[in-house]
Amino acid sequence: MTTVSVLGSTGSIGTQTLEVVRSEPDRFRISALAAWSSVEALIAQVREFRPDIAAIGRPELAGQLKAGIPSDIEVLAGDGSFQELATRGEVVVNGVVGFAGLGVTLAALGSGRRLALANKESLIAAGPLVQPLRSTPGAELIPVDSEHSALHQCLRADGQNPKMRNLHQLVLTASGGPFRGFSSDDLERVTLEDALAHPTWSMGPKITVDSSTLMNKGLEVIEAHELFGVPYENIEVVVHPESIVHSMAVFTDGTTIAQLSEPDMKLPIAYALSYPERSAKPFGSIDWAQPKSLHFEPPDKDTFRCLGLAYTAGQFGGTAPAWMNGANEAAVDAFLKGSIPWSMIPTSIESALDEYDGNEADSIDSVIRADQRGRECVATYLAEESR
Ligand code: MG
């Protein structure tokens, strides 16, 4: 029995993790559940899975949570409760949305646990802080992002050569999002509803907007660099609209190894929970008896500028990824609230990166400061633009 702690349990990754656990009840047991504010959904999950402990991010909802669940289940509340729960269970699933997931990542690795990481922002913004914790005895980082789960699997196929001497290149696939093939003029007119209609993946609103700008892919380039230690010049992006090939590793002898499945986040989740074994239950199996075509094309980096901005921030290093990530979160938030058009997301981030101060990511404070400065730069830019 593997015990699993799910942070962000009512979100998209959290609920799909619980589906995986439900599919193999003899293999997994939920030991901790935490949600930020969806208290009713959390109560229903606690009643079904009976963890040892549950947490709610907003302290004012703690009473409601306690009243709704059996009294022998421990309840924590507030900001620090997520970190506490990240030190429970053998596998910690970090499904917290955005930069707020950093504390969970640091606590899980620092306490020598396997971290099933869906919160890419914590690795992207705070890579230099996360990296040393990966060598904590017992600590292990298995990506839950579909592309990085694919890369993890492709690299395993080469015998998990620890130095990856034979690796030439990582190729991340991108669906291209709902605006693939759009011109800059077309993009001036897209709406929130358009941006939220992802062609192949069902995900939360923030990441769906990030997919529409290609910033999600840009963040994933930085994530791949941090996870696998591959230089930026050896990480490529290719648009693959069917979302069947989830990413590829190209080796020095010319071989490309790819991982394929129908798009289903439950597969990378089950992989991270089951590793080094595999799930007994299939998710996203391809029916090879049916005809199938797969297409690949280079991304339109001139029109979708967020991808290039992410490479720039990654190559700056230091706190630049945190700065850019903060700027992106602020810009996407403004877009989701209807205060700015889609086309101002990349221009906001670009203006924020122009202000980058070059600081090192040597402490949590420096990363938090960079994240805030990125957000402030976007706020200033948007205030000036609206004048
Ligand atoms: Mg992904």
Domains identified in the chain and CATH numbers: 2-143 (3.40.50.720)
Q: Which tens digit of pLDDT belongs to each residue from 246-262?
A: 999 999 999 999 999 99
Q: In the prediction, which pLDDT does 43 show?
A: 98
pLDDT-derived band of residue 241, with 50, 70 and 90 as boundaries? very high
CA of 302 to the centre of ligand 1 (A): 22
Average pLDDT over residues 264-284: 96
Question: Could you tell me the distance, in angstroms and rounded to a whole number, from the CA of residue 220 to the centre of ligand 1?
Answer: 7
Q: 52 alpha carbon to ligand 1 midpoint, in Å? A: 31
- The percent of residues above 70 in pLDDT, for the chain, comes to 97
Q: Averaged over 152-179, what is the pLDDT?
A: 84
CA of 138 to the centre of ligand 1 (A): 26
Say which residues have a Cβ less than 8 Å from residue 54's Cβ, sequence separation at least 6.
32, 33, 34, 42, 46, 65, 69, 73, 74, 75, 76
Instruction: Identify the burial level of 149 via C-beta atoms within 10 angstroms of its C-beta, where 0-12 means exposed, 13-18 middle and 19 or more buried.
Output: buried
| Least confident stretch, 157-171, 193-207, 281-295 | 157-171
CA of 68 to the centre of ligand 1 (A): 35
Query: How much distance in Å is there from the Cα of 361 to the middle of ligand 1?
Result: 24
Could you read off the pLDDT of 29-66 as tens digits, one per residue? 999 999 999 999 999 999 999 999 999 999 999 999 99
pLDDT level of residue 98 (50, 70, 90 thresholds): confident
Mean pLDDT lowest among 46-60, 147-161, 176-190, 211-225: 147-161
Q: How far is ligand 1, taken at its centre, from the CA of residue 387, in Å?
A: 37
Distance 146 CA to ligand 1 centre (A): 5
- The CA 250 to ligand 1 mean position distance, Å, reads 19
Sequence-distant (≥ 6) Cβ neighbours of residue 83 within 8 angstroms: 103, 104, 106, 107
